[in-house]
Amino acid sequence: MEFLEAAKEAALAAGQVLEEWAGKFTVSEKGPADLVTEADVAAQNAIVSVLQPRFPQHGFLGEEGLRHAAGVGDFRWIIDPLDGTTNYVHRFPYYAVSIALEQAGELVAGVIYDPSKRELFAARRGAGATLNNQPLQTSRFQRLRDAMVIASFPPNAKSDSSPLKRFLHVINHAQTVHRSGSAALNLAYVAAGRLDGYWSTSLKAWDMAAGVLIAREAGGRATRMDGSLLDLAIPDILCTNGTALHEELSLRLGEVESGTAP
Ligand code: IPD
Ligand code: CA
Ligand code: CA
């Protein structure tokens, strides 16, 4: 319980930092179309200043150059201080703070905070998921043709790349397909039943860790795209509402891989 409460406190502090920086940040490119601002770094600092004094023996992995091995025990915080930087830069209100805690490689707590809507998604392993303290449940749409699904692309994705081919193939079979710019919120929205499925082959552990736990605790399922065991170190995720939609979406995505997509 103390871990989740600390993560919530850290996420709210980071969210406040993001809103304070809005309108005054400057933008740099880490790579082509891969943006970072002072707000990313300031938000990460805010998170660390809440968590590190409380858990000095824990390890830390954060997107903005944060790497600390665990002292005693196997705890590690996995942090994306601002997921959706491109949206943030354009003032498109779909970005979030993402904080997860793993113990010996198992996700035990996760928090995603959307400061634009003041929505705090949270989960503790085995205890369900919540949005602003109200229980969450995934949607029940079972067929792709009834589903609203979403994908993430790598920054600077090209029109002839596999992620775009998958996107275009799924468009032929789903009710609606979106791209939004925040992996963490996509996963939180699957948990909340606002989206039915999500996939990506470009994520890092900090993009998905908290969202995976929140989605699973809300009844969702997260695997690799072919249905095998998810590994946060490998950029390959399919997360759905946990119905038969998972197998159908996995099949459609696989058709692009195997070259059997019409
Ligand atoms: C990005 C977002 C985006 C995904 C990219 C990520 P960032 O994270 O999650 O949805 O498509 O692969 O890098 O850079 O905004 O933290
Ligand atoms: Ca991210
Ligand atoms: Ca980020």
Tell me the mean pLDDT in the region 202-210.
98
d(C-alpha 95, C-alpha 98), whole Å: 10
Q: 168 CA to middle of ligand 3, Å?
A: 26
Q: Where are the alpha helices (DSSP H) in the chain?
A: 2-21, 38-54, 85-89, 162-171, 183-191, 205-217, 245-258
Q: 73 CA to middle of ligand 1, Å?
A: 30
Which atom from ligand 1 is nearest to the alpha carbon of 95? 15
Which atom from ligand 1 is nearest to the alpha carbon of 63? 16
Question: Percent of the chain beyond pLDDT 70?
Answer: 99
* pLDDT over 70 (residue 1): no
61 in Cβ contact with 77 (< 8 Å): yes
Question: Which ligand number lies closest to the CA of residue 89?
Answer: 1
d(C-alpha 132, C-alpha 156), whole Å: 34
pLDDT class of 59 with cuts at 50, 70, 90: very high
Tell me the mean pLDDT in the region 172-178.
98
pLDDT for the residue numbered 72: 80
* pLDDT over 90 (residue 136): yes
For tokens 């959307």, the residue is 114
* pLDDT over 90 (residue 39): yes
Mean pLDDT of the chain: 96
Q: Which of 100, 94, 51, 60 is nearest to 210 (CA)?
A: 100
Tell me the mean pLDDT in the region 228-257.
97
Output the pTM of the full model: 0.97
- Dihedral (CA of 150, 83, 216, 256) sign: positive
Does residue 177 or residue 32 have the better pLDDT?
A: 177
Which tens digits make up the pLDDT trace of 68-114?
Answer: 998 888 999 999 999 999 999 999 999 999 999 999 999 999 999 99
Q: 138 CA to middle of ligand 3, Å?
A: 25
Structure tokens at 99: 């904080």
3-state secondary structure string, 86-138?
A: HHHHCCCCCCEEEEEEEECCEEEEEEEEECCCCEEEEEECCCCEEECCEECCC
Tell me the mean pLDDT in the region 113-132.
98
97 in Cβ contact with 113 (< 8 Å): yes
Tell me the mean pLDDT in the region 224-230.
98
* pLDDT over 70 (residue 262): no
Q: Whose CA is nearest to atom 16 of ligand 1?
A: 83
pLDDT for the residue numbered 241: 98
205 in Cβ contact with 80 (< 8 Å): no
Q: Whose CA is nearest to atom 4 of ligand 1?
A: 152
Name the β-bridge partners of 124: 109
pLDDT class of 47 with cuts at 50, 70, 90: very high
Around ligand 1, the residues with Cβ closer than 6 Å are 80, 82-85, 152-154, 181-183, 202-203, 207
Does residue 231 or residue 28 have the better pLDDT?
A: 231
Read off the amino acid at residue 235.
P
pLDDT for the residue numbered 71: 82
